[in-house]
A and B are shown apart, each in its own frame.
Chain A
Amino acid sequence: MNEWVIELRNVSKAYAAHAVLRNINLQVRAGEFLTLLGPSGCGKTTILRLLAGFEPADGGEILIGGQDMRTLPPEQRHVNTVFQSYALFPHLTVFENVAFGPRLKRIRGEALRERVMDTLRMVKLEDFAGRKPGQLSGGQQQRVAIARAVVNQPRVLLLDEPLSALDYKLRKAMQLELKQLQRRLGITFIFVTHDQEEALSMSDRVAVMNAGRIEQFGAPRQIYEAPENLFVARFVGEINNLPGRVVAAAPPRYDIRLHDRVVNLKSPYVFGVGDRVNVLIRPEDVRIWRECEGSAEERAALFPAVVEGVVYKGSTVDLVIRLDSGDVLSTTQFFNEDDQAIVNLDFREGERVFVDWVHDWETILPHEE
Chain B
Amino acid sequence: MRRKAQGHPVPMRIREPFKLLAVGAIYFWLTAFALLPNLLVVIASVLERGSDEFVAFAFTLDSYRRLLDPLYLGVLLDSLGLAAATTALCLLLGYPFAYLLTRMPVRWRPVLLLLVIIPFWTSSLVRTYAMVILLQTNGWLNQILLGLGLIAEPLELLYTEPAVIAGMLYALLPFMILPLYAALEKLDRRLIEAARDLGAGWITIFRRIILPLTLPGVVAGCMLTFLPGLGMFYVADLLGGAKTMLVGNLIRDQFLSARDWPFGAAASVLLTGLMGLLLWAYYLSSRRAGRGALP
Q: Which residues of A contact B (CB under 8 A)?
A: 52-54, 73-76, 79-81, 83, 85, 87-91, 100-101, 104-105, 131-135, 138, 141, 148-149, 152
Q: State the 4 A-B residue pairs at the shortest beta-carbon distance, nearest first.
A: A132-B292, A134-B292, A87-B194, A101-B198
B residues 149-178 touching A (CB-CB < 8 Å): none
User: Is B199 interfacial (CB-CB < 8 Å)?
Assistant: yes
- Interface contact A90-B294, CB-CB below 8 Å: yes
- Interface contact A89-B190, CB-CB below 8 Å: no
User: Is B295 interfacial (CB-CB < 8 Å)?
Assistant: yes
Residues of B within 8 A of A80 (CB): 197-198
Q: A87-B188, A87-B191 are in contact. Are A81 and B294 (CB under 8 A)?
A: no
Q: Which residues of B contact A (CB under 8 A)?
A: 188, 190-191, 193-201, 204, 208-209, 212-213, 288-289, 291-295
- Interface contact B197-A81, CB-CB below 8 Å: yes
Residues of B within 8 A of A52 (CB): 193, 197
Q: With the chains together, A52 CA to B196 CA distance in Å?
A: 9
CB distance from A93 to the nearest CB of B (A): 8
CB distance from A103 to the nearest CB of B (A): 9
Q: A105-B199, A152-B199 are in contact. Are A89 and B209 (CB under 8 A)?
A: yes
Q: With the chains together, A141 CA to B294 CA distance in Å?
A: 10
- Interface contact B190-A100, CB-CB below 8 Å: no
- Interface contact B295-A134, CB-CB below 8 Å: yes
Q: With the chains together, A54 CA to B292 CA distance in Å?
A: 26
Neighbour of B291 across the interface among A75, A76, A132, CB < 8 A: A132
Residues of A within 8 A of B212 (CB): 91
Looking across the interface, which residue of chain A has its beta carbon closest to that of B291?
A: A132
Neighbour of B198 across the interface among A85, A90, A100, A138, CB < 8 A: A100
Neighbour of B196 across the interface among A74, A90, A91, A132, CB < 8 A: A74
Neighbour of B293 across the interface among A81, A90, A148, CB < 8 A: A90
Chain B at the A interface: mostly helix, strand, loop or mixed? helix
Of the listed residues B200, B213, B292, the one surrounded by the most CB atoms of chain A closer than 10 A to its CB is B292
Neighbour of A135 across the interface among B191, B289, B292, CB < 8 A: B292
9 A–B contacts, CB within 8 A, in A order: A74-B197, A75-B198, A75-B201, A76-B199, A79-B197, A131-B292, A132-B291, A133-B294, A138-B295
Residues of B within 8 A of A148 (CB): 198
Q: A83-B190, A89-B194 are in contact. Are A100 and B295 (CB under 8 A)?
A: no
Residues of B within 8 A of A132 (CB): 291-292
- Interface contact B188-A91, CB-CB below 8 Å: no
Residues of A within 8 A of B188 (CB): 85, 87
CB distance from A54 to the nearest CB of B (A): 6
Residues of A within 8 A of B196 (CB): 53-54, 73-75
Q: A88-B294, A134-B292, A134-B294 are in contact. Are A104 and B194 (CB under 8 A)?
A: no
Neighbour of B288 across the interface among A74, A81, A91, CB < 8 A: A91
- Interface contact B200-A134, CB-CB below 8 Å: no
Q: A80-B198, A152-B199 are in contact. Are A133 and B292 (CB under 8 A)?
A: yes
- Interface contact A74-B193, CB-CB below 8 Å: yes
Q: A134-B292, A134-B293, A134-B294 are in contact. Are A87 and B193 (CB under 8 A)?
A: yes
- Interface contact B200-A104, CB-CB below 8 Å: yes
Looking across the interface, which residue of chain A has its beta carbon closest to that of B215?
A: A91
Q: With the chains together, A79 CA to B196 CA distance in Å?
A: 11
Residues of B within 8 A of A73 (CB): 196
- Interface contact B199-A101, CB-CB below 8 Å: yes
Residues of A within 8 A of B204 (CB): 104
Q: A90-B293, A91-B289 are in contact. Are A54 and B199 (CB under 8 A)?
A: no
Residues of A within 8 A of B208 (CB): 100
Residues of A within 8 A of B195 (CB): 89, 100
Q: With the chains together, A133 CA to B294 CA distance in Å?
A: 7
Q: A73-B196, A101-B199, A133-B294 are in contact. Are A90 and B213 (CB under 8 A)?
A: yes
Residues of B within 8 A of A100 (CB): 195, 198, 200, 208
Q: With the chains together, A76 CA to B198 CA distance in Å?
A: 9
- Interface contact A75-B194, CB-CB below 8 Å: no
Residues of A within 8 A of B190 (CB): 83, 85, 87
Other than the given A100-B200, A152-B199, 20 more pairs (CB < 8 A) read: A54-B196, A73-B196, A74-B197, A83-B190, A85-B294, A87-B190, A87-B193, A87-B194, A88-B294, A89-B191, A89-B194, A89-B209, A91-B213, A100-B198, A100-B208, A101-B198, A104-B200, A104-B204, A134-B292, A134-B295
Q: With the chains together, A149 CA to B193 CA distance in Å?
A: 13
Looking across the interface, which residue of chain B has its beta carbon closest to that of A134?
A: B292
Q: With the chains together, A141 CA to B212 CA distance in Å?
A: 21
Q: With the chains together, A52 CA to B199 CA distance in Å?
A: 11
Q: With the chains together, A91 CA to B214 CA distance in Å?
A: 11
Residues of B within 8 A of A54 (CB): 193, 196-197
Q: With the chains together, A91 CA to B204 CA distance in Å?
A: 15
- Interface contact A104-B291, CB-CB below 8 Å: no
